[in-house]
Amino acid sequence: MCATSMPPTRTTRFKLMRCITNALPENVTAEALVQAGARSVEAYQRATGLADQLRRYDALVVSTGEVQGVLPKQYQRTLRILVPSPGQLAKLDGAEVQHRSNPVVGRLGALFYTAAKLGVDFELKSMRQAITLRNQLEHPQVPALLR
């Protein structure tokens, strides 16, 4: 399974989530977890705990939005704590819809589950940095002065 000797930093928690998520069955449902056995159920339990920690980091970033004068409609849910490539961005943006009817993935957080499966990097950012990142990913050829 996954190495557990990593120090408990934000980044290593996300890497551990990626490792654990990859140990889950391809189609993550309650039935598939039970059928896959105790190791899968244990991996799922560890992943839900790590997902809860990631939600707390995400909430911290959201709380900085008001201080920075960022309007809630500008909140970049996908990019607050993730650093995807341009090709990964669309998959992350669609993660909630793709996994909407799966409560097992919902407990992990469809966004975090998809990010872990895709190997997306993790980084805490301010709300303004998240907005800038989206602009860079969606318009990579546009000079910064024109954004």
pLDDT tens-place string over residues 84-97: 998 899 999 999 89
pLDDT of residue 145: 55
Number of CB atoms found within 10 A of residue 1's CB: 10
Q: Which amino acid is at 90?
A: A
Residue 75 one-letter amino acid:
Y
What is the spatial distance between Cα 56 and Cα 44, in angstroms, rounded to a whole number? Answer: 19
Give residue-wise pLDDT tens across range 36-68: 999 889 889 988 888 888 888 888 888 887 777
Euclidean distance between CA atoms 106 and 119, whole angstroms? 19
- Given the structure tokens 């009817």, which residue do they identify? 101
List the structure tokens of 29: 């449902």
% helix / strand / coil in the chain, to the nearest 5? 65, 5, 30
* Lowest pLDDT segment from 15-19, 66-70, 106-110, 117-121: 15-19
Query: Where do the domains of the chain lie?
Result: 10-137
The answer to whether the beta carbons of residues 83 and 90 sit under 8 Å apart is no
From first CA to last CA, the distance across the chain in angstroms is: 45
Q: Which pTM was predicted?
A: 0.80
Read off the pLDDT of each residue in 127-132 and give the average, rounded to a whole number: 86
The whole-angstrom separation of Cα 20 and Cα 16 is: 6
- The partner residues of 83 in beta bridges, in order of sequence, read 121
Residue located via tokens 């934000």:
10
Burial (Cβ within 10 Å: 0-12, 13-18, ≥19) of residue 101: exposed
